[in-house]
Structure 1
Amino acid sequence: MKNIPNIITCSRIILSIILFFTEPFHLPFYIMYIISGFSDMIDGYIARKTKAASILGAKLDSIADLTMTVVIFIKLYPIVDIPRLIFIWIVIILILRLLSMSIVFIKYHTFGIIHTFANKGSGIILFCFPIFYPFINTSILTYSICALATLSAVEELLIHLTSKELNINQKSIFHI
């Protein structure tokens, strides 16, 4: 029972890899995508309810999130018309994220992405992108995603720069 959350998280990594081989915006893509998103919601919930939450589980969750994000970006970038400014903004966000990961590795000798409210919020809005893409103006979606992703990336960077220890379950910079 204690391994179920980690099994669900690992299944998300596998589903994300399978998602790489599906055609975007078609039924198999949406099925895999929504199952992956659902698994992201339930793994942590089950871990907390069964008192099976662990450092390994939190790290696996971050790896699964990162895997899914990279796969979706690779699949959608050639299809979605992203304005140059948005592309530059995405690169800046990626640099901030890589800087945060580097600081974590240098300070704590491990991999870690903090599960802040802002990170969760940007993850949710990013998750919604492929679902709403056919129905909503791309600029509105991309600017909204980039704004929240920038906020969450800066918050995480500030947390890493000011914290004495790594707490991947820290909810915000105001909960130090």
Structure 2
Amino acid sequence: MKYLPNALTLLRIVLCVPLLFLRPFSVWFFVLYTICGISDMLDGYLARRLGCAGPAGARLDSAADFTFAAVLLFRLVPAMNLPVWLFWWIAGIALIKFSSLAAGYVRHKQAAFLHTYANKAAGLLLFCLPYGFPLWGLSAGAAVCLFATLAAVEELILCLISPVLNQDVKGLFFR
């Protein structure tokens, strides 16, 4: 049972491959997409519940989250016919996230994927975006980008000011 959380995390990475080839917003896309989202919600919970949470699992989860988000950006963003300014906004968020990784690596000699409340909330909003986009369109995308920007800036600040890397830091205001 102690391998179940990491198996769920690996499942998310594996399911990202067929997501690359499925038509966005199709039934099979949403089936695999939903399984990926459920695995993301369950892996950390089960790791803590089973007493097998650790740094290796946290890094694997972060890698799976990054892979899932990259696949979604690659497949969904073109299918949404977004305006150019929103592409620049997404690129800005990615730049902030990469800056956080670089700052964490320079300061702490390891990649700094932080599991803040804001990052978790941004991930949940990003996960819900394909379900809400057909209903709310551009407003849904802009709301997710706004929240993701705030979460990314918080993560960068934490990477820059934290004397010790704590991947499970709750946030700037929860220290």
TM-score by length of 1: 0.96
In structure 1, the partner of 2:23 is 23
Instruction: Supply the AA of the counterpart residue of 2:9.
Output: T
What RMSD in Å do the two structures reach over aligned CA positions? 1.0
Structure 1 stretches of at least 4 aligned residues deviating more than 3 Å after TM superposition: none
> Where in structure 2 are there 5+ consecutive unaligned residues?
none
In structure 2, the partner of 1:148 is 147
Q: Secondary structure at the match of 1:134?
A: helix
Q: Tell me, in whole angstroms, the C-alpha distance in 1 between the residues paired with 2:76 and 2:142.
A: 16
Q: Tell me, in whole angstroms, the C-alpha distance in 1 between the residues paired with 2:78 and 2:12.
A: 23
In structure 1, the partner of 2:33 is 33
Q: Tell me, in whole angstroms, the C-alpha distance in 1 between the residues paired with 2:115 and 2:34.
A: 21
> Where in structure 1 are there 5+ consecutive unaligned residues?
none
**Kept in 1: contact 2:97–2:152 (CA 8 A):** yes
**Kept in 1: contact 2:154–2:171 (CA 8 A):** yes
Please report how far the alpha carbon of residue 175 of structure 1 lies from its aligned counterpart in structure 2 after TM superposition: 2.8
In structure 2, the partner of 1:133 is 133
In structure 2, the partner of 1:2 is 2
Please report how far the alpha carbon of residue 72 of structure 1 lies from its aligned counterpart in structure 2 after TM superposition: 0.8
TM-score by length of 2: 0.96
Q: Secondary structure at the match of 1:53?
A: coil
**Kept in 1: contact 2:133–2:141 (CA 8 A):** no
Give me the identity figure in percent.
39
Alignment coverage as a number of residue pairs:
175
**1:95 matches 2:95:** yes
In structure 1, the partner of 2:157 is 158
